[in-house]
Amino acid sequence: MSEQQPIRVMLVDDHAVVRSGLSAFLYAFDDLELVGEAGSGQEALEKCRALQPDVVLMDLIMEGMDGATATGFIRQQCPTIQVIALTSFKEKELVEGALQAGAIGYLLKDVSADELAHAIRAAAAGKPTLAPEAAQVLIEGARHPAQKIGADLTEREREVLACMVEGLSNQQIAEKLVISLSTVKFHVSSILSKLQVNSRTEAVSYVLKNALDF
């Protein structure tokens, strides 16, 4: 009887230091094998086609093609590959977006090595794993029916929206609120989704027409 082959894993994150840390983690487990890395959603899609890993650990907030979009394409084009979203964010839109795109798991980056290894093994076996925080977000969303448009904006999103109304660019918002540009882009995307609009201009117009409080 031949020894079981290790689970082939690919890492996708736009931060090299994060990929380095995850690489070190994988080498600690004999049944997990690192077969590739990608720094963007587009690169992830290309490498998935070429490498055919068993499981992909996918960051969600990246420049260009985001993690949820990349997950959707990977699941369409390489249906045998399982994707675990591995992110620092637990917002409802991100959780739902990743799962709707076909991710089998959703974990936060502060997960322990053993928990991550367990999730990878579960994904390879076709079993889902959700971080408790992500599960709680989905439960809360199901328990609280739809409310007035814009009522569910977080305090930070309201701050970003106020800056948008002032006409500030993403870079200017990042500098004013002392947050990263990618975080601003994530909040802007979430704001557009919650306000059910397609652009910054429409978002600002909605605020002015509806006298939305900040």
Calpha distance 103→97 (Å, rounded)? 9
15-19, 65-69, 187-191, 201-205: least confidently modelled range: 201-205
The pTM score is: 0.68
**Contact call for residues 38 and 79 (beta carbons, < 8 A):** no
Can you give the pLDDT at residue 1? Answer: 34
Contact 184, 160 (CB under 8 A): yes
Tokens of 82: 């399982």
pLDDT per residue as tens digits for the range 121-164: 999 999 999 999 888 888 776 665 555 677 788 999 999 999 99
3-state secondary structure of 85: strand
Place of tokens 């907030």: 61
In the three-class reduction of DSSP (H, G, I as helix; E, B as strand; rest coil), residue 83 is classed as strand
The count of other CB atoms within 10 Å of the CB of residue 152 is 15
Place of tokens 């309201």: 158
When the pLDDT of each residue in the chain is averaged and rounded to a whole number, the result is: 90
Q: Give the residue among 109, 106, 96, 40 at the shortest CA–CA distance from 73.
A: 40
Categorize the per-residue pLDDT at 30 as very low, low, confident or very high, splitting at 50, 70 and 90: very high
pLDDT at 207: 85
Contact 163, 177 (CB under 8 A): yes
Q: How many Å apart are CA 141 and CA 165, to the nearest integer?
A: 28
CA angle 91–92–95, rounded 5-degree value: 90
Confidence of residue 206 (pLDDT cuts 50, 70, 90): confident
11's enclosing H/E stretch is strand 7-12
DSSP result, 115-155 = HHHHHHHHHHTT--EE-HHHHHHHHHHHHS---STTTT--H
Walk me through the domains of the chain, giving residue ranges and CATH numbers. Answer: 7-141 (3.40.50.2300), 155-210 (1.10.10.10)
pLDDT at 96: 87
